[in-house]
Each structure stands twice: as structure tokens, then as C-alpha cells.
Structure 1
Amino acid sequence: MDSENQQRYQTAIALACLPIDNVYLSGCRDQCTTRNDSGDHSASEILKLLRSGQVLMVNSRRRNGLILYKGFHAEFAGPGAAVGSFYDRDCDWALPVGNLSLLTPESHEERQKAYLIRRQWIRLMKQITEKSQPQQRVQKILEQFEQYFDSQTVSQIPNEAFARLIGVLPQTANIARSVASSIEEV
């Protein structure tokens, strides 16, 4: 029991030492808010954290998430989803969505639930990719993200991120987004 508390304490200290822009990292009871002006630095620090082998989870009480770039595709880990550990060691880049908050699961049950939620997010992306037309995929993922995040947050997500999430070319995402925004203006 003491070793478990010691491990949580060390995790909280390690998380508290990371300078990350607009990212809230919480240990078991402590919360740390540190700020830095560089968004790229933030993403690289998140990437280091993901590759460290720790199991973290996206805070389920906020509208936030991570787009995890892996090889030629990307995965979205939304609220409640587990990130890190050996699942994300192959992550090339991490793009925070919304006001990212990462937590350390406090129990085995909490960790298991986070893994199940990660699977649900993967299944949602799979359902979107089953659409046969690439522009339909882009339209569907935009609808999903706009239901959950505000339009300003969605507009900041690059075309390449959406393209990697659903298996289309970035140009296709750009065209579909342009068409959607021109329809909204009318």
C-alpha cells in the first residue's frame, strides 16, 4: 500500500514539473496549472509524457481530447479515454483539442474504464470511415466534432488531422470544409 502511494506521489510530482500550455495535468489529488507561450512546445511535452509509459486519461469532465498521430493515421482520444502506456509509444505527434486536462487513474477499475472508453472512441472513428465517399467521411467527422466542441475549437483543427483520423487526403478535408463553410454563410 505504501509503495502504491509513493508511486502516485512520484507521478504527481513528475506531472507537476511539465511546462505545458493550457494543459492541466492532475496527479491523484493535486492539480497543476502551468503555462508556456509555445503551442509546439506543449505538444512535444505531451508526446514525451505519452511515451513515458505512464497510463493517463483524458479528463471526462471537460470538453477536451487528443489527436494522436501514428504513422499514416491518427486516433482520437476523447474525454474519459486512456492515453499513454505501451499503446501510444508509437505516437509521432499529439494535438490537444480543447482545453486539455490529463489525469492519472487512481484505481485499477478507473484504468479499465478508461481503456474501454478509448475503445469506444476508436469504434466511433471506425463507423465514420465505413462511409464509402471521402467527402461524406469529412462531413460526418465535422458533424461529430461540432456536436461536442465549439466551432472555434473545430476550426483550429488542421485538415491533416481530420484526414488522418478518417483515411482521406488533406485536400479532400479542405474542400469539404470549404463547401460546409460556404453553405453556412448562405
Structure 2
Amino acid sequence: MDSEKRRRYQTAMLSTYYPDTSFLDHLVMHDGTEQSQGSDILTLLHTGKVFIVNSRKRNGLILFKRYHAEFAGPGAAVGGDYDCDCHRALPIGNVSNQFLLTPESNEERQKAYLIRRQWIRLIKQITENPVPQQRVQKILDQFEQYFLPEIVADLPDVAFALLVGVLPQTVGTVRRFGNELDGRFNS
């Protein structure tokens, strides 16, 4: 399949699942509120500067790219050339004025990149599971270990779906039925 046919196929498949492919334009939380702090953060990320997610607070950032999402937890580097393709940013946890910090040295920047890589590896390990429902359960478990359950419950299904490569409907099903699905999908 040549690249042009593949691109048309991917677009057709995406529009089958998401008829309105601008579904991230109005990211609505489970409690019905629309996410707004992310636009300020996105503006900062698009300046080309490198920032660090504050490691002294329980927070993180879900970065929405074209076909997937990435999680940058405390201490992780964000911005620069690495996140210039970011379309949306969803801050999680203790969002304050000091959510993103500027690295003060090359060593601090290097350490932040290593931490970002660790977060990427964690998500990669989760996505290697071939069973979609297990991937969802694992990412939910990881987030609930780190963030308050109320915070995780408020995050939209599409955020988790794009993190682990499943449909938002799969996330919704796992959230509704949780452990009841374990017997059906554990191998």
C-alpha cells in the first residue's frame, strides 16, 4: 500500500470512529466542565522553549498529538522541538502558577529529558499488552496510584484512549464495568 493510499485509509478509519475529527477542540471533562488551562500551557509549549513539569507537586500533563497522546509526569521535560506538534494539553493534578518551570542548567534539562523518557517507557510497556481492556485497566490503575481517584474519574475517556491506543468506548466500558471484565479478558 503506497503512502497516499495509506493516508486516505487512515483518514477514512479515523473518520469512521470519530466523524468529527476535531473532537479535541472542545475537550470536556467527565464533570461537564470544559478544560481551559491547557490552552495557556499549549501557548507556552509552542514558544519553542523547554520547560519542566514541577516535580514538587503531584501533577502531570497529557499532550495530545495528531494520532496519540503522551503523558509527561513530574520532572519531565516538555516543549522545545519535541512537542511542537502538540495540538492540545491537559494539565492534571495540582495546577498552579508554578506548574511549568524553566530549567536553570543543562544538567537540569538533561535530567528532565531522561524523566520524560521514563514516562514514555511506562506507557509503552502498558501499550504492549495485546488486550485493549487490559491496557485501559492498567493505565487507569497507574493514574489512580499517583493521582486522587476523583481527579482520574474527571479525566475524559479520549485522553486514556489516545494514551494506550484504544477507542474511547473501550475506556468507558472498562470504567463502568471494571473488575467484572477481568475474568473475561485476563489470559
TM > 0.5 between the two? Answer: yes
Measured against aligned partners, the alpha-carbon deviations of 1:85-144 in whole angstroms (never above 9, x if no partner) come to 010110000000111311111110000000000000000000000111000000000110
Q: Aligned equivalents of 1:127 and 1:48: distance in 2?
A: 30
Aligned residue identity for 2:108: E
Task: Calculate the aligned-residue CA RMSD, in Å.
Answer: 1.6
CA distance in 1, matches of 2:133, 2:180: 15
Provide the C-alpha distance between the structure 2 equivalents of 1:113 and 1:53, rounded to a whole number of angstroms: 19
Residue matched to 1:66? 61
Call closer, same or farther: CA 1:144–1:125 in 2, change over 3 Å: same
Quick one: percent identity of the two aligned structures? 64
Tell me what 1:83 maps to: 78
Structure with a larger share of its residues in strand? 1
Separation in structure 1 between the aligned mates of residue 38 and residue 72 of structure 2, nearest angstrom: 15
Which segments of 5 or more consecutive residues in structure 1 lack a partner in the other structure? 1-37
Where does residue 135 of structure 1 map in the other structure?
133
Structure 2 CA distance for aligned equivalents of residues 139 and 82 of structure 1 = 26
Query: Structure 1 residue 104 and structure 2 residue 97: aligned?
Result: no
Residue in structure 2 matched with residue 48 of structure 1 by the alignment: 43
Mark the runs of 5 or more structure 2 residues left unpaired by the alignment. Answer: 1-32, 182-187
Counterpart position of 2:6: none
Aligned residue for 2:85, secondary structure, equals coil
Bigger relative contact order, structure 1 or 2, given CA contacts below 8 A and separation 6+? Answer: 2
Amino acid at match of 1:147: Q
Q: Which amino acid aligns with 2:83?
A: D
2:26 alignment counterpart: none
Count of aligned residue pairs for this structure pair: 146
Show the counterpart of 1:115.
113
Partner of residue 158, structure 1: 156
Per-residue deviation, 1:40: 4.0
Q: C-alpha distance in 1, partners of 2:130/2:156?
A: 22
- 2:52–2:112: 8 Å Cα contact kept in structure 1? yes
Task: Pick closer, same or farther for the CA change 1:153–1:181 going to 2, 3 Å.
Answer: farther
Instruction: Please give the alpha-carbon distance, in whole angstroms, between the structure 2 residues aligned to 1:181 and 1:93.
Output: 31
Q: Is the 8 A contact 2:35 2:90 kept in 1?
A: no
Which letter does structure 2 place at the counterpart of 1:65?
G
| Aligned residue type for 1:63 | R
The TM-score with structure 1 as length reference comes to 0.75
Distance (whole Å) between structure 1 residues aligned to residue 34 and residue 177 of structure 2: 29
Give 4+ residue runs of structure 1 displaced > 4 Å after superposition: none
